[in-house]
Structure 1
């Protein structure tokens, strides 16, 4: 399908996507993608150390599981390059459909995998391959969804529209963990540190298989989209780049670097609050690596309460970023994240109230920093390399932040003898890197996104 064909098809139907369709398409797709990612993240803590990475030392098995979790982040920049190339040459719609299909198929197949007990090392090998496929798909999903939202936004509301694909993260988290919670409740375990035999035998597979239903819904929504005005304008003026990746690096290398570091603190906070916290919260206070000592059901419910604030403040961040600017808003929020990292020990030492405050504060800051990224990263690049540029920045940052965050956090947790002090310091240091990038960057609120 040529780019010209895409534009002609769009003109035959609608000149502009209806706002409700834009919002739904950007929200549904990222919800599914993040659901699939969270399903793996939860299983990486609950299931995979038992079934795919057997080891005499539970900490070693957990680290191996987190290493595979991080492997997907390595594949994400490759997905950003591949899908970004298609998105900048052929249009946003076809690319978004391809990314969603890739993620859905990979997630569904994880639910069918044999375990180490039945297939030996073939089981973790296949898990790594499918995890890489998940990362490859997510590498193309986010930037496409953000472009659909921001390129179709009314004047002065790009940051507000850019928060809708970001909402997929908290909604996907709640659906994924809520489903795991229901299954675990139906298959209770007598040992709070280990899921039941029924859950480990087949119950854990249900959330992965359920992904197929969600993908069908997402595809139905996305097939109804037409191309954005920004992409149409690029085609009409002959601005399509032969190799968008080369063009992005040649003319916008500074924006690529800045965008990568803009996302760094967001990614580290994101995976500390979602993946690492589940391990830390469930670890017994008397274990070799002591944690908070909550049972799985209680702590996930506490996390879901925190994620509600994630969703609320994601939406709050959009109007703030449109009113005060992306840069000014994010400098204030990133400074707050740096301070939050220094306060982990005193907050977590205050019992149940302190733990809930830690979750609420962490997820509130997560919403406030994550929301504006849906507009900020696309605004760094012109339309002809926007899919590629925003995708690379977003996903290279996933290697520096998300890929290693759970692994580093567990190592620092162990180094601290069970204290989260060094994990908090790690968050603060990453926030300072982001703060420097924001200070060096420029405000993008008033650019013309259609060129």
Structure 2
């Protein structure tokens, strides 16, 4: 009798509408990636000048990138913490907590004193808040992906899984568009350096503006109801006491495969968004020579590339639902490997080549990033899905994203300004992802409610 009543209550419970699912998964990740990109842009433009005044531009840039990468170390910790909550208490409350943590940390970065004001306390506080950003993002992505995939109609999980992924290009465009607008309103006489007004206060605006976006995101997410997959886990008594232990004991192979599935994606992601901004703006006669574009021109070129990122993120969903996640990603990863080997020939074509390089890189980024929204959650059962997908996604961030900008600058320096070895590094990571995909299995037909 009680089981019948429980089933009746479950069937009568309000479900998340398709529009609510799409909006909740999209808005949250857009805000989270906006916050992350704001830091990434400032790590190139502002922080070397204001928080790491070493007297050596390359050293200052490397120090700024090191702090940028430090957040990746915190991401698996966030995945464990928020994954534990998400698998035991539900997706909704966990997503709200992750969003609040990211928003508060980002806002406080915008209020930090600089090195000139408080000395080394300034970079220390920056590191602390950066770690908080990484901790929050560690719990955000997997929760948003679960909201999308666990509420998707049959046969359309990959399509719905692309909506949280779409937050990455949208967040990039909003963050960099805002920085670009502020830089235009506070122009500099030296194209290689932001203006005094920009360094004094202009850079703080995008960080402080995140508070407005967080309020919008919270309103959307507080209107969600739990997915049937989680409710079924609770009703059948399958909630794990320690989801982390269960994931490592029963699904360690999936954790390893999922980590390497994401590796090439992460390396490509941060090479195209963070390293490329440094390489594109560096003067052709600089100690570490680059492409010599001014900031405004190159960011506009990047935004054009990111439009392709968004288009092909959405396009990858129907392909992955039709042909399978594994087959789609094997072909895309082969494209990433080839792309890395062709960096120098493409970039040697001048401005047209640089634009083609950005478009190709971001197109491949969309095609590899889109299916991950469905693939990683599908690797794990519902009772450890938040934890498992989050750990795979975020451990990969250490192996890929945390070190990618740092390794890229080192290889850029080793190549005396040539990006050849940076491209080879991308191809090598693509080979590792390809091996993982070949060893893995197709997941598009798994039961998401089990």
Smaller-chain TM-score bracket:
over 0.9
The aligned residue for residue 196 of structure 2 is 197
Structure 1 CA distance for aligned equivalents of residues 298 and 244 of structure 2: 43
Is 1:450 the counterpart of 2:439? The answer is no
What TM-score, normalized to structure 1?
0.98
Structure 2 CA distance for aligned equivalents of residues 272 and 125 of structure 1: 26
Structure 1 CA distance for aligned equivalents of residues 417 and 446 of structure 2: 48
SS of the residue 2:366 aligns to: helix
TM-superposed deviation, 1:186 = 0.2
Structure 2 CA distance for aligned equivalents of residues 143 and 16 of structure 1: 20
The aligned residue for residue 83 of structure 1 is 82
Deviations 1:350-370 (A, max 9, x none): 001000000000000000000
Matched ranges for 1:321-340 at <5 A: 321-340=320-339
Matched ranges for 1:111-130 at <5 A: 111-130=110-129
Is 1:65 the counterpart of 2:64? The answer is yes
Structure 1 CA distance for aligned equivalents of residues 286 and 66 of structure 2: 22
TM-superposed deviation, 1:68 = 0.1
Structure 1 CA distance for aligned equivalents of residues 312 and 191 of structure 2: 33
Deviations 1:128-148 (A, max 9, x none): 000000000000000000000
The aligned residue for residue 300 of structure 1 is 299
TM-superposed deviation, 1:55 = 1.2
SS of the residue 2:383 aligns to: coil
TM-superposed deviation, 1:14 = 3.9
Structure 1 CA distance for aligned equivalents of residues 291 and 261 of structure 2: 31
SS of the residue 2:223 aligns to: coil
Structure 2 CA distance for aligned equivalents of residues 353 and 437 of structure 1: 35
The aligned residue for residue 54 of structure 2 is 55
Matched ranges for 1:405-424 at <5 A: 405-424=404-423
SS of the residue 1:104 aligns to: helix
Unpaired runs of 5+ residues, structure 2, are 1-5
Deviations 1:111-170 (A, max 9, x none): 000000001000000000000000000000000000000000000000000000000000
The aligned residue for residue 403 of structure 1 is 402
SS of the residue 2:219 aligns to: helix
Structure 1 CA distance for aligned equivalents of residues 55 and 418 of structure 2: 23
Deviations 1:221-280 (A, max 9, x none): 000000001001101110000000000000000000000000000000000000000000
SS of the residue 1:113 aligns to: coil
The aligned residue for residue 377 of structure 1 is 376
Deviations 1:320-367 (A, max 9, x none): 000000000000000000000000000000001000000000000000
Deviations 1:204-233 (A, max 9, x none): 000000000000000000000000010011
SS of the residue 1:171 aligns to: helix
Is 1:348 the counterpart of 2:335? The answer is no
TM-superposed deviation, 1:12 = 10
Structure 2 CA distance for aligned equivalents of residues 86 and 193 of structure 1: 45
Structure 2 CA distance for aligned equivalents of residues 22 and 450 of structure 1: 17
TM-superposed deviation, 1:56 = 1.6
SS of the residue 2:15 aligns to: coil
Structure 2 CA distance for aligned equivalents of residues 312 and 347 of structure 1: 22
TM-superposed deviation, 1:57 = 1.1
Structure 2 CA distance for aligned equivalents of residues 151 and 272 of structure 1: 31
Number of aligned pairs? 444
Task: Return closer, same or farther for 1:291/1:268 CA change in 2, 3 Å cut-off.
Answer: same
TM-superposed deviation, 1:102 = 0.1
Structure 2 CA distance for aligned equivalents of residues 365 and 12 of structure 1: 41
SS of the residue 1:426 aligns to: helix
The aligned residue for residue 357 of structure 2 is 358
TM-superposed deviation, 1:13 = 8.1
TM-superposed deviation, 1:16 = 1.8
The aligned residue for residue 165 of structure 2 is 166
TM-superposed deviation, 1:15 = 3.5
Root mean square deviation, CA, Å: 1.1
* Mean CA deviation greater in 13-22 or 234-243: 13-22
Deviations 1:421-446 (A, max 9, x none): 00000000000000000000000000
The aligned residue for residue 41 of structure 2 is 42
The aligned residue for residue 317 of structure 1 is 316
Structure 2 CA distance for aligned equivalents of residues 92 and 222 of structure 1: 10
Matched ranges for 1:146-295 at <5 A: 146-295=145-294
Structure 2 CA distance for aligned equivalents of residues 24 and 444 of structure 1: 25
Displaced runs of 4 or more, over 3 A: 10-15
Structure 2 CA distance for aligned equivalents of residues 94 and 55 of structure 1: 43
TM-superposed deviation, 1:11 = 5.3
Structure 2 CA distance for aligned equivalents of residues 410 and 29 of structure 1: 31
Is 1:394 the counterpart of 2:403? The answer is no
SS of the residue 2:188 aligns to: coil
Unpaired runs of 5+ residues, structure 1, are 1-6
The aligned residue for residue 3 of structure 1 is none
The aligned residue for residue 4 of structure 1 is none
Structure 2 CA distance for aligned equivalents of residues 15 and 24 of structure 1: 17
SS of the residue 2:382 aligns to: coil
What TM-score, normalized to structure 2?
0.98
